[in-house]
A and B are shown apart, each in its own frame.
Chain A
Amino acid sequence: MRGFFLFLFTGVLFALLQSSVLPLFFSPNWRPNLILILILYLGLSENLSRALIAGLLLGAIQDSFCGATLGLYLSVYLIIILLTRLLSDQLNVESPPLLLLLIAGGTLLQNFLVGFYLTIFAATAPVLHILLAAIPQQLMANMLSASILLTLLLRFQRLFGYRSGLAGLMYQSKLHGS
């Protein structure tokens, strides 16, 4: 349960960072989507019911912190979590490069879904132009941020001990064979 609230707290913190601090340093295209990284990590590390509830709440928070109508990110993150769960059984998620590849895939999928929903439901086709133009920068920004966050996570894992609630990486490799 503590891990669940930690995810929510981190999500709110990321949302505040994305709306108040990052705009001071980065243009919209170069601003990483930290909540997406959290959602992917959530999909890999928590059990399905917790991941779904936390994912839906984070989606609602993201909807409230950006210009989207409530429900857009809720739906997009739900799909991303479900697909991540399906994929996580097939992949070696302890591999950091693979996690970064997942982040890249998640970024592309999120852009596709946001574009799809906005075009089909909200009839704001010009958003496709904005989304497509921003994809290369978004990919780089998200992957770089994910690398930094993973490095920080490994440091924190060392400080607070290796919990089974936190996903893969060092936890798995350290305990294997011991």
Chain B
Amino acid sequence: MREFLGRYRFLLLAVILLLGTVLLYSYNLRQKTATTFFERAVLTFAAPFQSGIDDIVDAVTSTWKNYLWLVDARQRNIELGKENLELRAQLQQVEEISLQNERLRKLLAFVDELDRSALPAQVIGEDGSNWARTIIIDKGTRSGLRTGFPVVASSGVVGRVIKTAPDSSRVLLVSDASSAIAALIQRTRTRGVARGQGEDLSIEYALRDTDIQVGDLLVTSGMGGVFPKGLPLGLIESVTKDQFGLFQQVTATPTVDFSHLEEVMVIVGEDR
């Protein structure tokens, strides 16, 4: 027996360790919402460094933009002045539409599901791998965050909190391959599931006969209970209908530009 163990020591060690790590991975997969002690420790340890790096980068960028790179500042100032006038005009129109919308909502007895309290947070880090799409934000359990909370930006849905530490959290982006969100096409109310594809979203289970066109807005359907209804998710990029099959193949571009994400809002409150 001892001779056997001695001869196959390397092989036995390899098999035991491999089985151990696979079991650990499999166990943790079942405990998706739980943040392990090790993960919490690493998040807590890394947060000040990531925050510091973020501050340094901001300071360098700000110095460069505000003091060193002023070649086209005057031209840009004129353009911005014009843009400001246009935006003011547009804002007045939006306010008018908003008032009209509010009246219609009351008439139809709609509940404004987006009326929840939200917490602003800053993006301090991104994913350490090339295939997963997650970000780290500078708010955690100390600010009242919990796993599952939805995260949004001004242009739409960002993702949901998957890991929490006292002062930082990890957010799974909608573009991650393991993210799937119940969605609907705003124009036609066609339902589907928006699944992340790295950069884009694919809309699964969209019935073949339903009307979906390029440019349609994809919003959250509110099913599943994580995301409030009606938040922008993406714009339809392509629609392909095969000769056979129940569903059509639809892809969408997320409304949020994840490469330039700096501030986000975490929806923390319940429906009012």
Contact = CB atoms under 8 A, between A and B. Distances in A.
Contacts of B128: 15, 18-19, 35, 62, 65-66
A20 B196 CA distance: 23
Contacts of B176: 67
B28 A71 contact: yes
Interface string B17-47: 1100110111111001000101100110010
Contacts of B49: 16, 20
B45 to A, nearest CB: 8
Given A27-B259, A67-B176, A130 B198 contact: yes
B131 A75 contact: no
B136 to A, nearest CB: 7
Interface stretch (A39-47, A96-104, A131-139, A169-177): A131-139
Interface residue tally of chain B, by bracket?
35 or more
B206 to A, nearest CB: 16
Q: Which of A23, A65, A67, A71 is most buried by chain B, counting CB atoms within 10 A of its CB?
A: A67
A124 B178 contact: yes
B134 interface: yes
A112 to B, nearest CB: 12
A159 B10 CA distance: 36
Interface string A56-99: 10011111111111111011001100100000000000000000
Interface of A: 15-16, 18-21, 23-24, 27-29, 31, 33, 35, 48, 52, 56, 59-72, 74-75, 78-79, 82, 114, 117-118, 121-122, 124-127, 129-131, 133-134, 138
Given A79-B18, A114-B131, A126-B177, 16 more contacts: A15-B128, A16-B46, A16-B50, A19-B128, A28-B130, A29-B130, A63-B39, A64-B39, A65-B46, A67-B134, A68-B132, A70-B38, A71-B24, A71-B25, A71-B27, A72-B25
